Amino acid sequence: MSSIVLMIIVFFSLAGLFSGCAPGNGADIPMGPGIETVPLFIGKQANSNPLMRQYIPQHPFLAPQARNGMHADSYCSDTYPGHGPLGNNPQVTSASLAWWGGEVATVAFDKKGRLICVSGNLFNFQLLLLDPDNLSVLASFNLPQRASMLKFWTTFDMRVIMNDTSGGAYFHLDKDDRPIIASADRIIKIFSLTESDNKPVWSIADSYDLNPFLPEDAAVIDAIPDWQGRIWFVTRNGIVGYVGPGRRSVHTLWLKGEEIQNSLAIAEDGVYVVSDHALYRFEADTENKKPEYTWREEYDRGSGVKPGAINQGSGTTPTLVDKNLVAITDNADDRVNLLVYKRLPHVKGRRLVCRQPLFDKGRSVSENSIIAYGRSLIIENNYRYSSGLPTDPNPRSHPGVTRIDINPDYSGCRVVWESREASQTTVPKLSVGNGLVYLYTRLSGTLDTTVAWYLTAVDYRTGKTVYKILTGTGALWNNNYAPITLGPDGTAYVGCYNGLMAIRDGRPGEKPRSIPKSR
């Protein structure tokens, strides 16, 4: 097939798929066919059953927990002290944020409760300020185009975009509500809001150019301050670095032959990085002015890239557990394993606390961060999921969500429960305020062409599914690795291919939700 013919087919496939989508003007995400064939709600309203609040130290340079980034805090616990929806007269709002694409990954909240997020489409990334109720765009700023987007327009291979986590997919909100973004031009930018004609406007408050210190092919994945205020960053081709004192000097260490696709975990004691070969604990060597790792633990990376995985390595951002542990999953061939390690620089005996096999044999992939509450860890299976558009509009992840508890004496770990929910590829979240774990699942309708998507709540204590709330039908509602984020008022926000959705409990006197219209 000639490249011209292929280009025409892909163009019109995308245009037809996203027809009716208005770019950021408050229009709803269009429904796909078969909305009338699937239930709006499955299960029953949940009773709030709060958990004991866990202590996670407040990062001195970031906004408070639950407001500052994709994983809720610098420990990457993916837990929220507040509530999520209980399924009481649930309401769903959505916003189409681009003609083609518009997917929202990280969502943060400023002190006023407004949403700060980055939306990506086939042309660029945008930093957005959104109204928390109707998701209308209050302010926007165009970020530089990623190299993978340019490559897509020459190859028309969607995988080059879907497998690229650089350029703003991760960002963090600092203590002054300013987004810290490692943009595609390899400049760390810190944004602030100003007022113009009584409207909020994004502007660059500060920036740190990494280009003189990086090779041309280095795509920056994430940038986040440590407890001393140094801004650490990682690149896709294995470079770990930080912007030094005075924020004008840059120091790097290259892990040659290794790839990094995940965010960083930051604690008082160090910086945790996972590559496709090993897990690291880094500190700043202030004497030699460079990053150095105090330990390195290789893991089983398997023999290849599995269906549903981005690369041949761990798909999990490091998760800091309790006061002394860090957890990831590996990429072992038959079944991936939960790996829990001691964090201290020097330990007696083995650093590995436990190695727990996960999910079904031969159908096991973990591509999202682990939930950590106390010594309990919750992990979802992402095996077989593909990026979807436009070649696979009906993607399916293999079932599997499990809770693993670490023994109090660190002698090992055990399975508490296993659920057969298939949570696709969302970053799941736990509400400490009501004891629910939130997933994003899909069901087939009575028509073969119907794909229905649901916000799904599972009981943290038992693993039993409590309810499912229909969000929408069709490929545009596919979350494609975007996280669930719980807002200050208990609303659950989920990014999807065409933008962002908000799911909340109904307010007093609000009418029950009716069946939405398909396009």
For residue 46, tell me if it sits in a domain: yes
The Cβ of residue 254 has, within 10 Å, a number of other Cβ atoms equal to 15
d(CA 470, CA 35): 9
Q: Is residue 459 part of a domain?
A: yes
Query: Is 316 within a domain?
Result: yes
The per-residue pLDDT for 443 is 83
Q: Residue 312 contacts by C-beta under 8 Å, 6 or more apart in sequence?
A: 276, 301, 302, 304, 305, 331
The C-alpha atoms of residue 142 and residue 207 are separated, in whole angstroms, by: 16
**Residue 34 and residue 19 in contact, taking contact as beta carbons nearer than 8 Å:** no
- Return the pLDDT at 22: 41
Position 2 scores a pLDDT of 33
Whether 141 is covered by a domain: the verdict is yes
> Residue 433 and residue 50: Cα distance in Å, rounded?
5
Instruction: Measure the CA–CA gap between 315 and 331, rounded to whole angstroms.
Output: 8
List of the chain residues with pLDDT < 50: 1-24
User: Does residue 512 fall inside a structural domain?
Assistant: no
pLDDT of residue 150: 65
Query: How many whole angstroms separate alpha carbon 308 and alpha carbon 518?
Result: 29
Q: Give the strand order in the sheet containing 239-243.
A: 220-225, 231-235, 239-243, 250-254
d(CA 430, CA 407) in angstroms, rounded, equals 21
CA distance 27 to 95: 6
Q: What angle do CA 332, 222, 262 make, to 5 degrees?
A: 10
**In this predicted structure, what is the pLDDT of residue 101?**
84
112 Rama sector, left if φ>0, alpha if ψ -120 to 50, beta otherwise:
alpha
Quote the CA–CA distance of 489 and 177 in Å, as a whole number: 18
Whether the CB-CB separation of 489 and 515 falls below 8 Å is answered with no
| 209 C-beta neighbours (distance < 10 Å), count | 15
Burial class (CB in 10 A: 0-12, 13-18, 19+), 40: middle
pLDDT of residue 14: 41
Cβ neighbourhood burial of 353 (10 Å; 0-12, 13-18, 19+): buried
Q: Which domain holds residue 117?
A: 3-504
In a domain, 510, yes or no: no
What is the per-residue pLDDT across 186-199, written as a single tens digit (0 to 9) for each?
999 999 999 888 89
d(CA 331, CA 310): 11
Give the C-alpha separation, 439 to 454, whole Å: 8
* Residues 93, 132: Cα–Cα separation, whole Å: 10
pTM above threshold 0.85: yes
Q: State the alpha helices, DSSP H only, in 31-182.
A: 147-155, 159-162
3-state secondary structure of 476: helix
How many domains is the chain partitioned into structurally?
A: 1
* pLDDT confidence of residue 309: 87
Per-position DSSP letters for 110-174, written without gaps between them = -TT--EEEEEEESS-EEEEEE-TTT--EEEEEEEPPPHHHHHHHHH--THHHHT---SSSS-EEB
Q: What angle do CA 227, 230, 233 make, to 5 degrees?
A: 110
Does the N-terminal peptide bond of residue 390 adopt cis geometry, omega within 30 degrees of 0? yes
Q: How far is CA 132 from CA 32, 113, 431, in A?
A: 25, 7, 19
* DSSP 8-state assignment for residue 488: T
CATH number assigned to the domain comprising residue 316: 2.130.10.10
* Radius of gyration of the chain, Cα coordinates, nearest whole angstrom: 22
What is the DSSP secondary structure assignment for residue 186, as one 8-state letter? S
**What pLDDT score does 100 carry?**
78
Q: Which residue has the tokens 């774990």?
A: 437
**Residue 513 within a domain:** no
